[in-house]
């Protein structure tokens, strides 16, 4: 059975008759050569081969490329017709052993495959020679365990003894070498030195800074306020066993103005309690809060009027959020009027301050200033600085004023101050300095006493007045309804008028 070839009409024999016949080669098909292409790409006339006659020669012979190396020729060169790509294995009779192909008895799947071709898949080319037997690998003997080594009589006792002696000798020599190198490595070290301990320990007499700090610190607390838009830390002092804590008004003001904020009092032992504001006095920068706490340590008030410049004082609080911080200094000045702007447009803050060089920083506000006996003589409130840090100019509200105002806040929730009901400004002249009256409202204490606009007040009671702030603190030293002598200058003359103070 045959079918015509699709290319040139020549029949193809043995395609699918199952006889596995070889296909005859197709006849050459030489197409006609285009004369134009032959003219362009053909050899020139008179040139019989691929090499031109003008090719460079050596000794009259054409230079050819050097022959390839023998290794490349044997690996990739042409072979004769008798050479096979792979020699088939030989059977016991010495004849080639040809394995049947996997398509034996089936039509050829590929018409171009020659089932009789000599290149077939066979076993590896390196085979064992007939009659040659490979020796099995030598097996390793069993390893000895420690019990077998010591008690199995597999090793002579003398050998074990010698091994132990050698190991001890090596270890001893290594230890001696290490000790010697350690001793000689640095002449300045001595491993045998033992430092002596001072006995007995340091003595802390009663009244020392350590003794005062130990007694007073438990009564000083940290006050934390935290809300949606505000957060900070201040200080406070426990002034009553019922849980009343005295602090600065500017410490609690942010929490009062922000309804989402919460005040928390933290004691030195780590206890925390939520605080509620009892009362505030923004004019003197004082406030009282209360917490629910059992048996707190209460600070004792001292008499700030007994202080003298040079007396030793301690400032205790939580500067820069560092709780239980104690700094030491002296009283630098007394009756120093301090004025500051009120919180969020509130009334101006003015108080009679104790100046100290004990280090006070942000966070000390509301903390304690105590004397050498541990008594509270001031509430740390502010500093004066050009760098933002402590430069030894700290100010504390006097303890006597703080005691008076905090007691009024606890009893009534508010406090009233004595006032002359006038507006003044600081004035200085060649002959005098004081507080010059700007206006005198009708119905006030100053108007009733006959004080006129333009008068310069230089003294209230026993206290000298040199500026407007000193007039304010001098008047607040007296009680509401008290009549005090006021010295003033009017048109070059000094006058003394009696003023009955009224409430602000």
| Residue entry with tokens 């200085």 | 428
String of DSSP letters for 394-412: EEEEEHHHHHHHHHHHHHH
Distances (CA, A) of 61 to 54, 179, 486, 490: 11, 87, 141, 140
Rounded Cα gap, residues 309 and 332, in angstroms: 6
Among 235, 365, 398, 406, the one annotated catalytic: 365
String of DSSP letters for 326-377: EEEEEEEEEEEEEEEPPGGG-PPEEEEEEEE-S---TT-TT-EEE-TTS-EE
The token pair at 127 is 């085979």
Length of the chain as a residue count: 504
Rg for the chain, CA atoms, rounded: 57
Tell how strand 423-428 and strand 276-281 pair up: unpaired
Largest distance between two CA atoms of the chain: 156
Q: Is 250 a catalytic residue?
A: yes
Q: Is 285 a catalytic residue?
A: yes
Rounded Cα gap, residues 331 and 311, in angstroms: 5
Per the CB < 8 A criterion, the answer to whether 354 and 473 are in contact is no
**Sheet of 231-238: strands edge to edge?**
272-274, 262-266, 220-226, 231-238, 244-247, 286-290, 276-281
Per the CB < 8 A criterion, the answer to whether 415 and 409 are in contact is yes
Rounded Cα gap, residues 395 and 337, in angstroms: 10
Strands (E), 432-477: 433-439, 456-460, 463-464
Among 235, 249, 250, 382, the one annotated catalytic: 250
Q: Give the residue among 403, 192, 160, 205 at the shortest CA–CA distance from 305.
A: 403
Q: Give the residue among 267, 287, 264, 286 at the shortest CA–CA distance from 277.
A: 287
Across 177-190, b (16+ Cβ under 10 Å) vs e yields eeeeeeeeeeeeee
Torsions phi, psi for 50 (to 5 deg) = -80, -10
Among 285, 352, 357, 371, the one annotated catalytic: 285
Torsion sign across C-alpha atoms 372, 375, 376, 378? negative
- The 3-state DSSP class for residue 232 equals strand
Per the CB < 8 A criterion, the answer to whether 474 and 350 are in contact is no
Rounded Cα gap, residues 472 and 338, in angstroms: 10
Q: Is 335 a catalytic residue?
A: no
- The 3-state DSSP class for residue 224 equals strand
Per the CB < 8 A criterion, the answer to whether 269 and 328 are in contact is no
- Residues with catalytic roles: 250, 285, 365
């Amino acid at each position: 059975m045959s079918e015509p070839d699709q290319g040139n009409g020549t029949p193809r024999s043995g395609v699918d008759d199952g006889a596995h016949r070889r296909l005859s080669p197709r006849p050459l098909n030489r197409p006609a050569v285009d004369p134009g292409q032959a003219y362009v790409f053909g050899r020139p006339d008179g040139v019989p081969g691929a090499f031109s006659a003008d090719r460079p020669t050596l000794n009259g012979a054409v230079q050819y490329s050097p022959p390839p190396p023998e290794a490349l020729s044997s690996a990739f060169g042409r072979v004769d017709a008798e050479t096979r790509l792979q020699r088939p294995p030989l059977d016991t009779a010495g004849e080639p052993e040809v394995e049947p192909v996997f398509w034996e008895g089936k039509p050829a799947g590929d018409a171009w495959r020659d089932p009789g071709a000599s290149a077939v898949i066979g076993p590896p080319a390196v085979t064992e020679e007939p009659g040659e037997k490979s020796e099995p690998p030598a097996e390793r003997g069993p390893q000895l365990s420690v019990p077998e080594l010591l008690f199995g009589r597999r090793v002579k006792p003398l050998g074990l003894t010698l091994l132990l002696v050698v190991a001890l000798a090596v270890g001893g020599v290594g230890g001696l070498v290490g000790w010697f190198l350690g001793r000689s490595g640095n002449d300045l070290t001595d491993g045998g030195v033992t430092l002596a301990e001072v006995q007995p320990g340091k003595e802390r007499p009663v009244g020392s800074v350590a003794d005062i700090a130990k007694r007073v610190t438990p009564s000083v607390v940290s006050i934390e306020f935290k809300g949606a838009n505000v957060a900070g830390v201040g200080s406070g002092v426990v002034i009553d066993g019922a849980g009343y804590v005295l602090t600065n008004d500017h410490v609690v003001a942010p929490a009062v103005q922000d309804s989402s904020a919460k005040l928390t009092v933290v004691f030195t032992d780590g206890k925390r309690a939520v605080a509620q504001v009892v009362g505030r006095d923004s004019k003197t920068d004082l406030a009282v809060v209360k917490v629910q706490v059992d048996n707190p340590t209460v600070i004792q008030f001292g008499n700030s009027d007994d202080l003298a410049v040079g007396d030793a004082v301690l400032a205790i609080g939580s500067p820069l959020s560092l709780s239980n911080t104690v700094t030491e200094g002296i009283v630098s000045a007394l009756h120093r009027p301090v004025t500051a702007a009120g919180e969020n447009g509130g009334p101006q803050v003015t108080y009679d301050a104790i100046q100290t060089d004990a280090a006070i920083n942000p966070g000390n506000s509301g903390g304690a200033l105590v004397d050498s006996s541990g008594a509270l003589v001031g509430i740390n409130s502010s500093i004066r600085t050009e760098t933002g840090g402590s430069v030894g100019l700290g100010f504390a509200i006097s303890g006597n004023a703080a005691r008076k105002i905090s007691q009024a806040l606890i009893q009534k929730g508010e406090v009233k101050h004595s006032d002359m009901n006038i507006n003044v400004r600081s004035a200085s002249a060649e002959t005098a300095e004081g507080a010059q009256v700007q206006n005198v409202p009708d119905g006030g204490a100053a108007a009733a006493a006959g004080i006129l606009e333009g008068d310069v007040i230089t003294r209230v009671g026993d206290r000298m007045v040199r500026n407007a702030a000193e007039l304010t603190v001098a008047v607040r030293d007296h009680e509401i309804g008290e009549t005090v002598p006021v010295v003033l200058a009017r048109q070059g003359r000094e006058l003394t008028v009696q003023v009955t103070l009224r409430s602000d």
